[in-house]
Structure 1
Amino acid sequence: MAIRYKLLLSLLLLGVLISGIALFANVQTQNTTVLRLGHVVDLEHAMHKSLDYFKQQLHDISDGQMDVKIYASGQLGAERDLIELMQIGSLDMAQVSVGPVESFVPELQIFSLPYVFDDEDHFWRVVNSDLGQELLLSPLNVDLRGVAFFDAGSRSFYTCPKPIYTPDDLAGMKIRTMKSQSAVALMRELGSSATPISFGELYTALQQGVVDGAENSAITYYKARHYEICKNFTLDEHNTIPGIVMFSEKRWQGLSAQQQTWVQEAMDITVTYQRALWKADTEVALTNLKQAGVTIIYPDKAPFQERVESFKQSFKGTPVGDILDRIEAKR
């Protein structure tokens, strides 16, 4: 009986192992190459809708020879988990915020610095320039290939116990940030206590008072339903951190030149779609937030900018500071 039990247990464990290998395998059917893509947002989010659009475009452009299997809502882990899975070639693609990537690629810290871009036009002028292409490909140093920057809007504060009108209002507040050294440093400059928490745990953390608030785009604040707990949204727009779609370099090199062309063509089309969708969804989110009773505050940004100026200046003379100078030259 004991032998039969051990045999049954061994077979079950083997089945689990085989299932795990199948999940992350670079799938090749008879006529279709299937790419595995992960992200952490829900199915109604503009990022997911855009990636689903990419899936459709790639299928059409390749005449059905390539397809994408999307693992949404953090099914494969947090953003850092997705990055590490791509590095070892166990996941083909992922869409993540640039914030967590800076731990692997210091140059991308530039996007986490406050008030780097004057406005949306300045941001896209940089992203679409040679400098933007350099930044997009900078993850190659760690076996990752950027294929597109996605619009993720500007990040602003939403808080529960009290509204934020000036930097002084942040004093002593616990604000959730991404797991990014720059994000933590920025909160410290503004006088709050940074509390890095994975996005999937944030709703509960707000609900239980582990943190007093967070910072993100209007879309993410609305789609994650954080407005149900935090009723104050301060549009200080302290930084503009894009999303980035990345490929495992190991997987990329395993594709044919034709397949690589199809992927990039489909992604270039998707970027245009994603930007338009993000803009439209932002307007809808702000309208719905107002209807839900959220207090939307448009603060004077000057005090916020003054508070963080020394922090920005501290990067002068560094590689990130040099990138900052190049960005300022494109004003």
Structure 2
Amino acid sequence: MKNVKTVMAALLASAAMASAAAACEVTLRSSDTHPDGYPTVAAVNAMGKMLEERTDGRLCIEVFHSAQLGQEKDTIEQTQFGVIDMNRVSLGPFNNIIEETQIPSLPYIFRSVEHMHKVMDGEVGQQILDAFNDHDLVGLAFYDGGSRSFYNSQKPIKSMDDLAGLKFRVMQSDMFVDMVSALGANATPMPYGEVYSSIQTGVIDGAENNWPSYDSSGHFEVAKYYTLDQHLIVPEVLVMSKTAFDKLSAEDQAIVRQAARDSVPVMRDLWAARELESEARVREAGVEIITDIDKTPFIDAMVPVYEKYVTSPKLKDMVARIQATE
């Protein structure tokens, strides 16, 4: 109930600032934990402009960035309840809710970002989006989340031995806890917004994320060792509350789906540019970047993780199809 009140208070407080959106018949309120200007935020804003143009002003989107409506776990629940209309979230927090989302979240499942694009833009990606329907959500599109690597405040990580005993924040996903444990480190699930202070105070030694998040969060200020092991290439997903979606006409539903798809190349272009900018900024700040690393032992250590999570014929088939995608 407290979370609902927090969300509603934020929504009401924003009403005075939504002059452009006020002209629309329906303003869809969308949540994002990232700051204003971040590629995912900019992409949903671009989608909103498409909707306004394509519906002659019937539909608009107002993006609540910077976790104004709460951290991802809370906003997922509020989107399912229909308090929030749309939500951009990493697939990680969905792993314990929708089993299909576990597959693209597996460590080293994708060979490259290009491989991930090919898979998520194809039949496997659509199968995963369809799986949201049974959880009071409508899966609209996948955005990029970059490749995630470990960073910490203690020492350079050049091998699995260097991970032993270190405490790393992970997203609130059992799979990510098991991944870190399989590498010999200690996993601490916690919301994204608590990571900076937790590293600063020694509650954890580090975390794992992509270049833009490592940069925009300021984590590089308190964790100056970044190892490019690229253990995860986890897509982000844009979802809509089924309650809000069902209120739209069939015509507007189709327009929303197409606008979401059309926002994907916008996001990817912004993401590619942002990665380069963030990497340059982090390097200029004097962070030690470790690139000379043999990933083979890391990949081999993931066998028990795959055995635990890829259990049903459906999931095994998805893994096989991903691995067969050229």
- The reply to whether TM is greater than 0.5 is yes
Partners of 2:45 and 2:62 within 8 A in 1: no
1:259 aligns to 2:252 (yes or no): yes
Deviation track 1:149-179 (CA, whole Å, cap 9, x = no partner) reads 0011111001111111111111000000000
The residue that corresponds to 2:178 in the other structure is 185
Partners of 2:102 and 2:309 within 8 A in 1: no
TM-score (norm 2): 0.91
1:247 aligns to 2:240 (yes or no): yes
Give the one of 224, 232, 248 matched to 2:225: 232
- Name the count of aligned residue pairs: 313
Partners of 1:167 and 1:307 within 8 A in 2: no
Q: Distance in 1 between matches of 2:189 and 2:50?
A: 36
1:64 aligns to 2:50 (yes or no): no
1:128 deviation in Å? 1.3
The residue that corresponds to 1:325 in the other structure is 320
Deviation track 1:215-246 (CA, whole Å, cap 9, x = no partner) reads 01111000111111111111111011111000
SS in 1 for 2:62: strand
For 1:10-25, what aligned pairs fall within 5 Å after superposition? 20=9, 23=12
TM-score (norm 1): 0.89
For 1:34-183, what aligned pairs fall within 5 Å after superposition? 34-183=27-176
Partners of 2:10 and 2:68 within 8 A in 1: no
Q: 1:311 to 1:101 in 2, by over 3 A?
A: closer
The one-letter code matched in structure 2 to 1:220 is S
The residue that corresponds to 1:203 in the other structure is 196
**Gapped regions of structure 2 (runs ≥ 5):** none
The one-letter code matched in structure 2 to 1:124 is H
Q: 1:167 to 1:151 in 2, by over 3 A?
A: same
Q: 1:22 to 1:273 in 2, by over 3 A?
A: closer
> Greater Rg, structure 1 or structure 2?
1
> In angstroms, what is the RMSD of aligned CA positions?
2.1
1:251 deviation in Å? 1.0
The one-letter code matched in structure 2 to 1:303 is P
1:320 deviation in Å? 2.7
The one-letter code matched in structure 2 to 1:44 is G
Q: Distance in 2 between matches of 1:31 and 1:44?
A: 23
Give structure 1 regions of 4+ aligned residues with deviation exceeding 6 angstroms. 27-30
1:289 deviation in Å? 0.9
Q: Distance in 2 between matches of 1:42 and 1:31?
A: 25
Q: 1:285 to 1:21 in 2, by over 3 A?
A: closer
The residue that corresponds to 2:273 in the other structure is 280
